[in-house]
Structure 1
Amino acid sequence: MTRKPSVQLYTVRDHMADREATLTRLARLGYTAVEPFDPTADPKGFRALADDLGLAVSGAHAMAMLHEPDPAPVFEAVAVLGTDLAILPAGIPEEDFTTRDGLERAADLLNTLSARAGEHGLRLGYHNHWWEFEPVLDGRHALEALADLTAPEVVFEIDTYWAAVGGADPAAVLERLGDRVVALHVKDGPKVKGEPHVAVGDGAMPVPAILAAAPADAWRVVELDACATDIFDAVGRSLEYLNGLEGA
């Protein structure tokens, strides 16, 4: 059975100063899961509030795992949130995706972090932007070449929008990576860098084909990096669209 959609809280970052009101509003829109981006900010309080609202934590973006001398406290915070998925959302130099040597460095980093995450009962995931797909090495997008260099325990959250902006066919990427994909960001827009995103279903992305190609148990995570309309209206309509597809 396909998981119910989650929502990346970076989408509503401008409202997170009132965390309770924002999570309550997302729950009332019908979301049953969220993806935090700052897991070390009061993880116990976040978990308690999420539990009260019936919100699961699908995963957590945890950039701090690269910034701290010891990532253990970051992984501990992710575990407190109630998820087993710690996601590195960036931090690998863009130029490392342009050469084989750079990809090997990136793989070494992810493998090391994955081993540390495993000590806390977590999986380590990597989330892409466009720069992991724009370079093509030996006929393959750099992100896919990186996947082959990483340990099988390293998993991926494919941002389908940025994969498309980077020149890839997101559905084909999902099919090739298969079960290595445990989550995907579902977003929509004109597929142009710097342009605001729109509610899922209102833009140029082939969302039905993307969802059909994704593993059934991979989290579908709605995200809008920027939006020219009311953000809660956009995330609400995104959920209605996705639920409609799953019910078709």
Structure 2
Amino acid sequence: MQISIQLYSVRDALATDFQGALQRLVDLGFSYAEPFNLLQFSEDLVEASAPVPITFPSAHQSFLGDGDFQEVLEAAQAVGVQYLIDPYWEREDWTDAGKVRALSARLNDRAAAAAAYGIRVGYHNHHFEIASRLEGRSALELFAAELDPQVILEVDSYWAAVAGVDVPVLLDALGSRVQLVHLKDGDLSADPGNQLPLGAGAMPLAGTLQAAAGAAYGVIEFDDYAGDIFEGIDTSLAHLRRIL
């Protein structure tokens, strides 16, 4: 598993100095990062990454709606993205098995189009896709069962824990479809302001890493953080290096 950083964690720094924020992450030791809002930032990413040794193997961008998917794929290709992840779908749809299956079919269609660009598509969970129970399993597991083999999942391990499941068991159940794992820590409350550097909270990190050993990338992320975000990221990376 390679270690990446979700750029949403440093969104405030990017807003004031995009190049400088990427350089700080490189200085901390990151070679990989996961952008968000890819369409908005694709040109900035290409320009800012040219002088620094960092690449973007995965990225977040909504594409399951009615927008121009070819435009999204062209932006992903320009940035060098291999795994294109839709980060959110409407919460209420995850309570209806028919809507979950329809969403799987839509993602399968997108996967066929993305394959022509050498890109694999996937979905990133929050807590509600897992807390919702449909046909004896979580809505996320029902969703995964309907996906083509080329479609991947990015499991946000923290939000899975917030949903109340055993994260390593969920990862085992989803198997090799999980190619990306969001790694974060905290008190397991739904308040993102309570998130902490890896190793400082209640997450079962060792078991999570063991169950996700086959994933391509573990992506450090803070949805929010009360301290200095770069210090929090540095602490998280150091902890991962000690236990991986």
TM-score exceeds 0.5: yes
Number of matched pairs: 242
* TM-score, normalised by the number of residues in structure 1: 0.92
Match of 1:83 in 2: 81
Quickly say closer, same or farther: Cα 1:42–1:210, change in 2 above 3 A: closer
| Consecutive aligned runs of 4 or more in structure 1 exceeding 4 Å deviation | none
What amino acid maps onto 1:11 in structure 2? S
Q: SS in structure 2 opposite 1:56?
A: coil
Q: SS in structure 2 opposite 1:133?
A: helix
1:88 and 1:150 mapped to 2: Cα distance?
14
What amino acid maps onto 2:145 in structure 1? D
Matched, 1:193 2:190: yes
Quickly say closer, same or farther: Cα 1:101–1:43, change in 2 above 3 A: same
Match of 2:164 in 1: 167
Q: SS in structure 2 opposite 1:205?
A: coil
Match of 1:10 in 2: 8
1:183 and 1:201 mapped to 2: Cα distance?
19
**Contact 1:141 / 1:168 at 8 angstroms: preserved in 2?**
no
Please, which moves more after superposition, 34-43 or 169-178? Answer: 34-43
Match of 1:213 in 2: 211
Q: After TM superposition, give the deviation of residue 116 of structure 1 in Å.
A: 2.1
Match of 1:230 in 2: 228
1:178 and 1:66 mapped to 2: Cα distance?
23
What amino acid maps onto 1:6 in structure 2? S
> 1:95 pairs with 68, 88, 92, which one?
92
**Contact 1:178 / 1:215 at 8 angstroms: preserved in 2?**
no
Consecutive unaligned residues of structure 2, counting only runs of 5 or more, are none
1:216 and 1:151 mapped to 2: Cα distance?
19
* TM-score, normalised by the number of residues in structure 2: 0.94
Q: Percent identity?
A: 36
Match of 1:154 in 2: 151
Match of 2:20 in 1: 21
Please, which moves more after superposition, 110-119 or 146-155? Answer: 110-119
